[in-house]
Structure 1
Amino acid sequence: MKTCELFKIKKVLSFEIFPPRRTDSVSTIYNTIEELKGLNPDFISVTYGAGGSESNTETLKIASDIKNKYGIESVAHLPCISLNKTQVIEILNNLREAGIENILALRGDVNPNCKPQNDFKHASDLISFIKENWDFNIIAACYPEGHVECPTIIEDIRNLKCKVDAGASQLITQLFFDNNYFYSFRERAAIAGIRVPIEAGIMPVINKKQVERIAALCGVKLPKKFLSIMEKYENNPEAMRDAGIAYAVDQIVDLIAQGVDGIHLYTMNNPYIARRIYEAIYTLLAA
């Protein structure tokens, strides 16, 4: 099923997971999927690693198993900056053969250990190529606070409009911790003529150093309330976990009240946190 169709009938809840690191047991990711299945997600997306054929193989296998073994719609991430056209064609053909219908088309981060290719310089280039040659549902990323490399918010919205015009039929936001950025972004997108569903990407924070690193990389601002929570509980892991869950729940409750199209939870492969959040919001999603 093409996940863009889900928004016509319900408020969507989806999860993101990533392939196991080399030091992790392969069974761990399947234990995670098994637990997430019990939360009735509308789809699960699988990230693509830092680069190389091994990352592609892991993403393909996990995304295929999510759909064909667990019966959950899956989305495969596909970053293009380090791939040439031949590689992209092979990946897309493999995904199609596995029955996967949904692609999150990304430019991806530049990896110093993987030379950038010139076939797809922007996500919009990849989206156009997929749209012209395959029948996938194409999802694109968006940035409520603007892309860290984009000089202005206005230019960032123009770039997003290019992605939608090229063929993206739904959007997932980068994480954010202040809902006002999302509401302002949503208004700008509407003014620009962007009419596709927008899911809000929410990341529950359980580690201060982790979120500071992610925020710095993504150009995400940390609100005063959020900073106070981290400072108060940073030396108490259990309290930090619970406070991070509570903050994410507060964000989601407000987003649902304001008519968000869906929630995309960055699970960090932690089904316990996903379950706690799901239990707090599932009645609101169905209302």
Structure 2
Amino acid sequence: MNQITPLPPADDLALSFEFFPPKTEKMDAELWETVQALAPLRPRFVSVTYGAGGTTRERTHAAVSRLVHEAGLNAAAHLTCVGASREEILDIARGYWAAGVRHIVALRGDPPAGAGRFTPHPDGFANATELTEALKRLAPFEISVAAYPECHPDSPSVQADLDNLKAKIDAGADRAITQFFFSPEVFLRFRDRAAAAGISAELVPGILPIANAAQTRKFAAQCGTQIPPALDRLLDGLDDNPQMRPLVAAMAAAGLCRGLYEEGVRQFHFYTLNRAPMTQALCHLLGRRASGWAHVAGAVSA
């Protein structure tokens, strides 16, 4: 019988978690239950997304501020170039700095629904490279940017996409967090291409557990992520069997994380979808055990 061999305790793991800002009081309570569950895993940072066109600006700011001041976490605010002038965006960044936020995830951003391709604001930043440069001039923010292991859908070529990533790193970004992907080889090949292109900054794989098969397929199509045929077959019928779905999702995500770990990857960024159990299980598999931080659990549940 095959045995599941646990990985050794990974004290060198660098974990980070992504949340989205809650829309309702119920969703707010669910988010803070998730924060309470994940904080003891000692993430080096957590991040909060920013809706297309700044549609979640106030909710993102409120969630990030609470993560900093009540949960005591290193919280990063997503900030995009969409739908605002340079000065408006920098005013938001100044507000974050004043609120004690020291980490920004700088993104070009997606256009609002129905708007087609990205079009810069007439007085705005054209891309994440310009945004990163301006943020670094404004204050000594820690800055993360996005990377696309399978090439950004708007990019004319893989090389152009790598050139764009290098420009963001050269502009002052501290690391790049990847779009999600579904096989270790995708990230490993990307890491090799980035190294060959002279990119030496940290590349953090973004991990998206499958919460809903139809939604995952939609997300993948939108961002140019390939679903391996074997995994695609596993997704068939899952949404009709909610009891089986998390088991299959856990198996797929566990295989991905173990494959990366065995190739020396020690940084993982989990797209939590504001749910804790799957991320908890994957961190446990990687050797990270919850410890300490009891004061955080008390703070966020107060």
The TM-score, its normalising length taken from structure 2, stands at 0.86
> 1:210-257: per-residue Cα shift (whole Å, max 9, x none)?
011101100110001211211253421121111111211111111111
Deviation, 1:283, is: 4.7
Paired position in structure 2 for 1:122:
127
How big is each residue's C-alpha offset from its partner over 1:52-79, in whole Å with a ceiling of 9 and x where there is no partner? 4x62221122112112211111111001
- Match in the other structure for 2:76: 75
Q: Check if 1:209 corresponds to 2:214.
A: yes
Deviation at 1:43, TM superposition (A): 1.4
**Partner of residue 270 from structure 2, selected from 265, 274, 284:** 265
Q: Distance in 2 between matches of 1:279 and 1:261?
A: 14
Q: Distance in 1 between matches of 2:216 and 2:210?
A: 7
Matched, 1:186 2:187: no
Give the root-mean-square deviation of aligned CA atoms.
1.9
8 Å contact kept, 1:81–1:122: no
Is the 1:45–1:74 Cα contact (8 Å) retained in structure 2? yes
Relative CO higher for 1 or 2, CA cutoff 8 Å, sep ≥ 6? Answer: 2
**Structure 1 Cα separation of the partners of residues 266 and 38 of structure 2:** 21
- SS of the aligned residue for 1:237 comes to coil
CA distance, structure 2, for counterparts of residue 234 and residue 61 of structure 1: 33
Aligned match of 1:56:
57
Q: 1:26 deviation in Å?
A: 2.6
Whether the aligned pair in 1 keeps the contact of 2:47 and 2:76 (CA below 8 Å) is yes
| Alpha-carbon distance in 2 for matches of 1:25, 1:151 | 39
8 Å CA contact 2:15, 2:44 repeated in 1: yes
Whose Rg is larger? 2
The one-letter amino acid of 1:206's match is A
Residues 206 and 237 in structure 1, CA contact (< 8 A), matched pair in contact too: no
- Deviation string 1:63-117 (CA, Å, 9 cap, x unpaired) is 1211221111111100112221121121111110111111100000011478851
Which residue of the other structure, out of 227, 238, 255, is the alignment partner of 1:250?
255
**Aligned 8 A contact 2:144 2:177 in 1:** yes
Amino acid at match of 1:268: L
After superposition, residues 1-287 of structure 1 pair within 5 angstroms as 10-22=12-24, 24-52=26-54, 55-112=56-113, 116-118=120-122, 119-231=124-236, 233-283=238-288
Query: What is the rounded CA distance, in whole Å, between the counterparts of 2:224 and 2:137 in structure 1?
Result: 33
Contact 2:41-2:288 at 8 Å conserved across structures: no
- Output the amino acid matched with 1:198: L
Structure 2 gaps of 5+ residues are 1-10, 290-302
Distance verdict in 2 for CA 1:59–1:217, change over 3 Å: same
**What's the CA shift for 1:203?**
0.3
Distance 2:288 2:30 in 1: 29
- Is there any run of 5+ residues in structure 1 with no aligned partner, and where? 1-8
Q: Which residue of 1 aligns with 2:296?
A: none
Distance in 2 (CA, whole Å) between partners of 1:175 and 1:243 is 17
Q: Is the 8 A contact 2:13 2:288 kept in 1?
A: no
Q: TM-score, normalised by structure 1?
A: 0.90
Counterpart amino acid of 2:78?
Answer: H
Moved over 6 A (4+): none
> Which residue identity does 1:155 align to in structure 2?
A
**Bigger Cα displacement from structure 2, 252-261 vs 225-234:** 225-234
